[in-house]
Amino acid sequence: MTPHHRRQFLTRSAVGLGALASLLGEGQAGESAPMPRVRPRAKRVIYLFQSGAPSQLDLFDYKPGLKDRFAADLPDSIRKGQRLTGMTATQESFPIAPSKYKFAQHGKSGAWVSSLMPHTAGVVDNLCFVKSVHTEAINHDPAITFCQTGAQLAGRPSIGAWVTYGLGSMNKDLPAFVVLVSQGSGNPADQPLYDRLWGSGFLPSSYQGVKFRSQGDPVLFLKNPDGVSDAGRRRTLDDLARLNRLHKEETGDPETDTRIQQYEMAFRMQSSVPELTDLSKEDAKTFELYGEDARKPGTFAANCLLARRLAERGTRFIQLFHRGWDQHTSLPKQIEGQCRDTDRASAALITDLKRRGLLDDTLVVWGGEFGRTVYCQGKLTAEDYGRDHHPRCFTVWMAGGGVKPGITYGETDDFSYNIAKDPVEVHDLNATLLHCLGIDHTRLTYRYQGRDFRLTDVHGHIVKGILS
């Protein structure tokens, strides 16, 4: 319902005067909604979301004992009658599929990493591996929605929207929340990604993520139409702002302020976005670090390089979505392509941020929506196998502001099927992310339809064991 008087308007702005300032536009360049309740260690987040669910068994969760159990049926004592997807629930057996890839320990931390990730292996002493993440959802769309919004059903604000609502922007000439999407080479027909995953839900729409395109103009409608000068567009925007303010006085609709802000942001982005996306000034060593794919717009490598440039310019929340990790069959062939897409660039981003002095106050997160089963889906051979969805345990790594480098937190059982030590649910992960930014997750709320909502709902505990 659109508020029609001041009391309703202030009620909608549940976190108080800070949120009011942000909503009216003053918070778009450094103001915040709720003041941070803890000392922030990170100023910004780069979230490398691997859509489709990477197999923890083939990347980071080393289980050498499985080789002796090849093709043996997964014991009922391990499966415990847990929920399965419709794709494997009717299988006559659940044959164990050990990873075909070699694992080795790396760095001073001795972290186990598979041969699929040689570049990531080179930066493990900067990473914090969390091997005991678990989730509520068992299918892709609700699981991704849950990771991004704290709820399986669509309609809630995304994590990036919550962060920018809570902390505002650090650069008035660029969006506070930017999204970059790339298509993996593993499974080109992987699950779709919807704009609501970076939407603002019931928060004011000024907090939604701005998706940059890889072809044509990065953001649509930034350029002036033919025959329209900058001065002419400036006069048009000023006239529109006056009309919108009159509309606001009549209706009290806060989205009117959002409209004014977005027009102004688009005007400023006419110069800031082309400068941001012009990689011609990056030196040869940078492209050597990220790989030649970084020269190809729309690749994961190019998006990682753009993420670093956005971080340098003060973008608060930068989210990369990389599709293609849904390997139900032909996993080895598909996952090798995914790792070629992402391994070098992910490691390069950590190295690049560190050498520029940005890693200390940038929190980098790498992970998907759930893990993969130890048992095979489809035909099992020594060289080929598939894995179904597995919400019971999966691996996420983090680096940078607020987390301990060079550690592994949490353990799974010998089958990477159940958590054996230090479980971390998705709400815990999000609560910890907010904590690193200086936000108490229980106080970052917004009143909607008579209830105070938050990213972590009524859940979430800070994972203190990974904090630096």
**The two structure tokens encoding residue 444:** 């970052």
Q: Quick one: pLDDT at residue 32?
A: 42
Q: Does the pLDDT at position 231 exceed 90? A: no
325-362 exposure pattern, b = at least 16 Cβ within 10 A, e = fewer = bbbbeebbebbeebbbbbbbbbbbbbbbbbeeebbebb
CATH of 8-79+86-232+283-466, one of 2.50.20, 3.30.450, 3.30.70, 3.40.720: 3.40.720
Q: pLDDT digits over 72-100, tens only?
A: 999 999 999 999 999 999 999 999 999 99
Q: In which band, very low, low, confident or very high, does the pLDDT at 244 lie, cut at 50, 70 and 90?
A: confident
For 250-295, what is each residue's pLDDT tens digit? 777 777 776 666 656 665 667 678 889 899 989 999 999 999 999 9
Q: Contact 424/398 with Cβ under 8 angstroms?
A: no
Residue 357 structure tokens = 């002095």
Q: Can you give the pLDDT at residue 403?
A: 98
Nearest Cα residue to 146 out of 138, 89, 256? 138
Let me know: does 432 contact 42? Beta carbons within 8 Å.
no
Average pLDDT of every residue of the chain: 89
Residue 23: pLDDT above 50? no
Q: pLDDT digits over 102-141, tens only?
A: 999 999 999 999 999 999 999 999 999 999 999 999 999 9
**Which residue type, as a one-letter code, is found at position 13?**
S
Measured from the Cβ of residue 79, the count of other Cβ atoms closer than 10 Å reads: 18
Q: What pLDDT was estimated at residue 220?
A: 67
| Residue 368 CA neighbour count, 13 Å, CB half | 29
pLDDT of residue 1: 43
User: What is the β-pairing status of strands 44-50 and 362-367?
Assistant: parallel
Q: Is 446 helix (H, G, I), strand (E, B) or coil?
A: strand
H helices of 150-229, in order, are: 159-167
Sign of CA dihedral 350, 352, 355, 357: negative
Residue 459 has pLDDT above 80, yes or no: yes
Is residue 118 within 8 Å of residue 415, measured between CB atoms?
no
Residue spans of the domains in the chain: they are: 8-79+86-232+283-466
Residues in the chain: 468
Q: What is the mean pLDDT of residues 57-83?
A: 96
Phi, psi for 187 (deg, rounded to 5) = -135, 85
Residue with the larger pLDDT of the pair 444 and 232: 444
Res. 26 pLDDT band, cuts 50 70 90: very low
pLDDT, tens only, 310-369:
999 999 999 999 999 999 999 999 999 999 999 999 999 999 999 999 999 999 999 999
The DSSP line for 121-155 is: HTTGGGEEEEEEEE-S--SHHHHHHHHHHSSSSTT
Token pair recorded at residue 416: 């990477």
Structure confidence at residue 240 (pLDDT)? 72
> Of 18-22, 144-148, 183-187, 216-220, where does the model show the most confidence?
144-148
- pLDDT band at 8, cuts 50/70/90? very low
